[in-house]
Structure 1
Amino acid sequence: MNRRFFLKAALGSVIPGLAGGAAYGLFESGWVQVTRPTIVLPHLPKAFDGTTVALLTDIHHGPFTSLDYVNAIVRTTLTLRPDLIVLGGDYSLKEGKYIRPCFDAMAALNAPLGVYGVLGNHDYWHGLEETREGFRTAGIGELTNRGVWLERDGSRFRLAGVDDLWMGKVDVKAALGDATPEDACLLLSHNPDVAEKMRDPRVGLMLSGHTHGGQVVFPTGDAPFVPSHYGTKYLKGLVQAPNTKVYISRGLGTTSAPFRVGSRPELTLITLHSA
């Protein structure tokens, strides 16, 4: 076998493999998985036992994530009939022109306990004021260093949210307000790294996104790029942080490249239980 023939043969075998891998990556980027974890929220009143929370994060509507896809996510969420819907930030990608259409689609979201969300780093990069206007026009409560009391049958628990760790100023104390250590407190933070240094004992559970589950994960479980200072600790799923538990969604959209491998997009339906 001469050198020229060998190179042609090698190239002929590699190109179909690369094409097939790229095609699969594009397919997986739209292959949404509905995950249904059951998590204990300390001090949750019995009136809220079994409450379902839909977590949608990292939608990244833009050149890689179509408006049809966003509308499909909204329809799927409504079909699940959650008691509460929370949004984990990063609604657009690359340009501000994608912000308003994304929120126009999300305006259809509704749940008995409400729809609330926080900001992510991309929301600062692509249009902070446009994103905040999107919250207002869609009727979605923005929880930037603030919280609300959710009430049912004379009982209540605190839903709070903090600013983006990279681009904003995180203020957990302001978010939790007048909550006491005996109250159930659910905290939203786009970036899960917030949990690593947070010591407020009132936070019983934190919900996050940001890492995309690595977006590309090798069969060994290694992810070449995870936007976290703590490696793969906060890659995905339920994680024990120093002072609380954190659930990290793999998110719904993509960044950098329009594909996923070994990390399907995730729409999370959490069932909360009292201890």
Structure 2
Amino acid sequence: MAFLRACALLGMIVMVTLFAWAHHNARIDPIVRTARIGFRDWPAGAHPVSVALLSDIHMGNEAMDAVRLGRIVGQVNRLKPDLVLLAGDYIAGHRASVARAFAPQLVEPLRGVHVPLGVVAVMGNHDYDTDPAAIRRALRAANVRVLDNEAVSRGALTIAGLDDLFHHRDDVPKTMAAVHRLPGLPIAISHGAARPFLLHEITLELVGHTHCGQVELKPLGIRNPFTGANYPCGITRSGKGITLVTAGVGTSLVPFRVNAPPDLWLLTIGPAQH
């Protein structure tokens, strides 16, 4: 009996340790991943644009609070990008009460982003699941420009912002019409990968949503079906198109990460180099 009690105690200690480790992994500073993406049709004489891409902040659970988001913003500022893009999902969970309680906590940290070309964002599925009006108010208060099937010019880039496809709010023709009215080389940002962009003159799409699986047990022979159903994390080239999927900085339902650390991307977008 004593042996069984010892085994049970040991098992409990192991489980608590694993949960604590997974929770710690969800709150570490994001890994900064870098890439240079060149275009042959880059506007002549235009300077390259450095872009910081963040997604899936998910304020409202144990993995994200205003202090941690402020620390991440400081990390971004130290990278000195020209432009910051946010790829949706600012709130954790699916309840409107969570958005109303935690959306205001986005304001002060995001207002601390200091980049010359500003912050441009799109909404995600959790935002529409909760209270999109409360989230939009918070983002506007933080001087974030939210795109709803719209486009804006920033430096030599035109940013096409596709609204959330999971709630059928995406409108590619409307977005492309907005793109065609603006100068600059077009790139796209959306919460989830929207393949139609790669067929409509935009060859670079920046997205989040998948968290890179969040809990990825592939080394143990366990495949995460959510990861397999989406574009893999990182950069995927398909024909002429490039889709970049970031792991995001927060977590959705449970504040755990295993083999899928939080990350953000620092991209240099400019002319093609031989």
**Alignment TM-score, normalising by the size of structure 1:** 0.86
| 1:159-183 alpha-carbon deviations (Å, 9 max, x no partner) | 1101111114211232232539x96
Tell me which amino acid in the other structure corresponds to 2:24: F
- The answer to whether residue 128 in structure 2 is matched with residue 131 in structure 1 is no
Question: Per the alignment, do residues 120 and 267 of structure 1 end up closer, same or farther by CA in structure 2, a change over 3 Å counting?
Answer: same
Tell me which amino acid in the other structure corresponds to 1:165: L
Match of 1:271 in 2: 268
Q: Distance in 2 between matches of 1:201 and 1:240?
A: 16
Match of 2:180 in 1: 179
Q: Distance in 1 between matches of 2:111 and 2:128?
A: 21
Query: Equivalent residue of 1:37, what SS?
Result: strand
- The answer to whether residue 107 in structure 2 is matched with residue 103 in structure 1 is yes
Q: Please tell me whether the aligned partners of residues 161 and 188 of structure 1 are also in contact (alpha carbons under 8 angstroms).
A: yes
Query: Equivalent residue of 1:36, what SS?
Result: strand
Percent of aligned pairs sharing the same letter: 29
Alpha-carbon offset, residue 136 of structure 1: 2.0
Q: Please tell me whether the aligned partners of residues 92 and 253 of structure 2 are also in contact (alpha carbons under 8 angstroms).
A: no
Match of 1:145 in 2: 149
| 1:185-220 alpha-carbon deviations (Å, 9 max, x no partner) | 11001012x12x445331120000000010011152
Counting only pairs closer than 5 Å after superposition, residues 95-244 of structure 1 correspond to structure 2 as: 95-96=98-99, 97-151=101-155, 156-176=156-176, 177-179=178-180, 184-192=185-193, 194-195=194-195, 197-198=196-197, 200-220=199-219, 223-224=223-224, 226=226, 231-241=228-238, 244=241
Query: Equivalent residue of 1:15, what SS?
Result: helix
Tell me which amino acid in the other structure corresponds to 2:53: L
Q: Distance in 2 between matches of 1:225 and 1:10?
A: 33
* Equivalent pairs, count: 262
Q: Please tell me whether the aligned partners of residues 44 and 157 of structure 1 are also in contact (alpha carbons under 8 angstroms).
A: no
Q: Please tell me whether the aligned partners of residues 116 and 143 of structure 1 are also in contact (alpha carbons under 8 angstroms).
A: yes
Q: Over aligned residues, Cα RMSD in angstroms? A: 2.3
Alpha-carbon offset, residue 8 of structure 1: 3.1
Query: Equivalent residue of 1:256, what SS?
Result: coil
Match of 2:35 in 1: 37
Q: Distance in 2 between matches of 1:210 and 1:73?
A: 18
Q: Distance in 2 between matches of 1:5 and 1:50?
A: 68
Q: Distance in 1 between matches of 2:51 and 2:22?
A: 29
Q: Distance in 1 between matches of 2:157 and 2:223?
A: 36
**Alignment TM-score, normalising by the size of structure 2:** 0.86
Query: Equivalent residue of 1:29, what SS?
Result: helix
